[in-house]
Amino acid sequence: MKIEVIENVMQYNSKEADHNRKLLKKKGVLMINILSAPGAGKTSLIMETIQELSNKVKIGVIEGDISSTHDSEKIKNLIEDVVQINTGGTCHLNASMVARALEKMDVSGIDLIMVENVGNLICPVGFDLGEDRRVILSSVSEGDDKPVKYPKAFIKTDLVLLNKIDLLAYSDFDYNFFRKKVDELNPEVPVFRISCKSKEGFDQWLEWVEKSLMH
Ligand SMILES: Nc1nc2c(ncn2[C@@H]2O[C@H](COP(=O)(O)OP(=O)(O)OP(=O)(O)O)[C@@H](O)[C@H]2O)c(=O)[nH]1
Ligand SMILES: [Mg+2]
């Protein structure tokens, strides 16, 4: 029996991602896809970035979660342009979901869209959303071995953020080990140490976002 397979899932996703990329380029919008394990601080990073930049940059947010509007409600207190995607159990966002979210947002006036992907260091890695930049957010409380255990997440990224550095003094996290493992996987990638609580290192992150907006 011969079964015709017209397109595989990844080819379809690539086409949709290119469509998103073209649309955003035409409108002059920068899209950043933020990936992390659950609880590493994606929503905190987005909220603090809005607080710091929204006086000069018009920001939109796409929130990806398996269920609930918990995170998007918090962001809605800060900005108008928030779209929630509930994946209904799927452990990552894909480009079609983002395409539908973009239809619901008036992207014309927006400079920057931050996408909070579903908290997971495995599934989201393989799905291009049409983003201009991808950021991996790791955190001190997860431990220093994440690059060893989830290498692909650290290879396919433009920036690594290590969050919750205010907790370093209370943990056995070995920054030199973490950094060495990231460097082995991705020698070119910048690694910034930040805290969404104390705001330590936050200027470097904001500078990176602003530079990305200029290119
Ligand atoms: N100490 C400390 N706590 C932080 C920091 N950033 C975030 N948190 C806390 O970590 C917890 C999880 O943060 P979120 O921003 O909700 O994490 P998330 O990645 O969006 O989580 P999910 O959406 O569930 O995947 C919250 O209690 C935050 O207040 C930080 O830099 N330092
Ligand atoms: Mg969140």
Return the bridge partners of 190, or none: none
The neighbour count for residue 167, using CB atoms within 10 Å, is: 15
Residue 78, pLDDT score: 98
Nearest CA to ligand 1 atom 7: 41
pLDDT reading at 215 higher than 80? no
Instruction: Tell me phi and psi for residue 189, to 5 degrees.
Output: -75, 135
Whether the per-residue pLDDT at 34 is higher than 80: the answer is yes
Residue-wise pLDDT for 81-128, tens only, equals 999 999 999 999 999 999 999 999 999 999 999 999 999 999 999 999
Question: Which tens digit of pLDDT belongs to each residue from 152-198?
Answer: 999 999 999 999 999 999 999 999 999 999 999 999 999 999 999 99
How many angstroms is it from 126 CA to the middle of ligand 2? 20
Residue type, 115: V
**181 touches ligand 1 (CB under 6 Å):** no
Atom 13 in ligand 1: residue holding the nearest Cα: 41
For ligand 2, the distance from its centroid to the CA atom of residue 43, given in whole angstroms, is: 4
For residue 35, which of 189, 156, 140, 208 has the smallest C-alpha distance?
156
Label residue 3 by pLDDT band (50, 70, 90): confident
Ligand 1 neighbour 197 (Cβ under 6 A): yes
Q: At what angle do helices 202-214 and 42-53 cross, to 10 degrees?
A: 70
CA of 105 to the centre of ligand 1 (A): 26
Ligand 1 in reach of 186 Cβ (< 6 A):
no
Cα–Cα distance for residue pair 118/71, rounded to 1 Å: 11
What atom in ligand 1 is closest to the CA of residue 196?
A: 31
pLDDT at 4: 67
| C-alpha pair distances (Å), 191 with each of 5, 40, 141 | 42, 15, 17
